Chains A and B, each alone.
Chain A
Amino acid sequence: NAGVTQTPKFRILKIGQSMTLQCAQDMNHNYMYWYRQDPGMGLKLIYYSVGAGITDKGEVPNGYNVSRSTTEDFPLRLELAAPSQTSVYFCASSVLAGGLQTQYFGPGTRLLVL
């Protein structure tokens, strides 16, 4: 299994541009998540999904959109990029088993907005 994969690894955007961060998992996990990690900080939840067709907001959803049309893919869309969105973005997936979940993280996408 490849686990959780993310593309691109690094991207520079100009203010006002848009882009989609790709995330895919091949573990047949129902749950998928998007986090952002600012320098020296912890992980903040942007959006999450409990299954195909179902998404919900996390702690910091403003400026982002998501969709979940398949179990495998969970893209994150940035509209009108702003310098405040400069961060490292991590996608994660998990399965809920026995009331517990272990999240598996991708390698991250580093985004710089200038």
Chain B
Amino acid sequence: GENVEQHPSTLSVQEGDSAVIKCTYSDSASNYFPWYKQELGKGPQLIIDIRSNVGEKKDQRIAVTLNKTAKHFSLHITETQPEDSAVYFCAATTAQKLVFGQGTRLTINP
């Protein structure tokens, strides 16, 4: 089955700097890659996603890139702000089930 590895497990950046979180997946049949943000005490919330037929997608300060050949995808957050502090999860799926990475705790330092 699918296996998703996520790095780093923790990431600390200065406010205004960029943050990058990387994930690799094992199943070449996976065709959908969402990213979720989880704030303290809340459930995960989708922030951006990408299909396997797209190499890059951007939404304001957030972007996701996908390299199907290497089987890895990344989340890029530019001009980080204090409200970006949270745990971020990547996931991959072929159909009914999502397989999640282990999560990255992002801390934005003022």
Contacts and interface: CB of A to CB of B under 8 A. Distances in A.
Interface string B24-57: 0000000110101000011111100101000000
B101 A103 contact: no
28 contacts: A31-B96, A33-B97, A40-B103, A41-B103, A42-B6, A42-B89, A42-B100, A42-B101, A42-B103, A43-B44, A43-B89, A48-B97, A58-B97, A90-B43, A96-B95, A100-B51, A101-B32, A101-B93, A101-B98, A102-B46, A102-B49, A103-B98, A104-B46, A105-B45, A106-B43, A107-B43, A108-B41, A108-B43
Contact of B34 (A43, A50, A102): A102
B96 A108 contact: no
Contacts of B6: 42
A111 to B, nearest CB: 15
Interface of B: 6, 31-32, 34, 36, 41-46, 49, 51, 89, 93, 95-98, 100-103
A27 interface: no
B32 A45 contact: no
A101 B46 CA distance: 11
A48 B103 contact: no
Interface residues of A, number: 24
A53 interface: no
B6 to A, nearest CB: 8
Contacts of B93: 101
B103 to A, nearest CB: 5
A101 B92 CA distance: 11
Contact of B95 (A33, A90, A99, A107): A99
Q: Output the residue of B31, B44, B102 with the most chain A CB within 10 A.
A: B44
B32 A103 contact: no
Q: Output the residue of A45, A90, A100 with the most chain B CB within 10 A.
A: A100
Contacts of B43: 4, 90, 92, 105-108
B31 A99 contact: yes
A9 to B, nearest CB: 10
Contacts of B36: 105
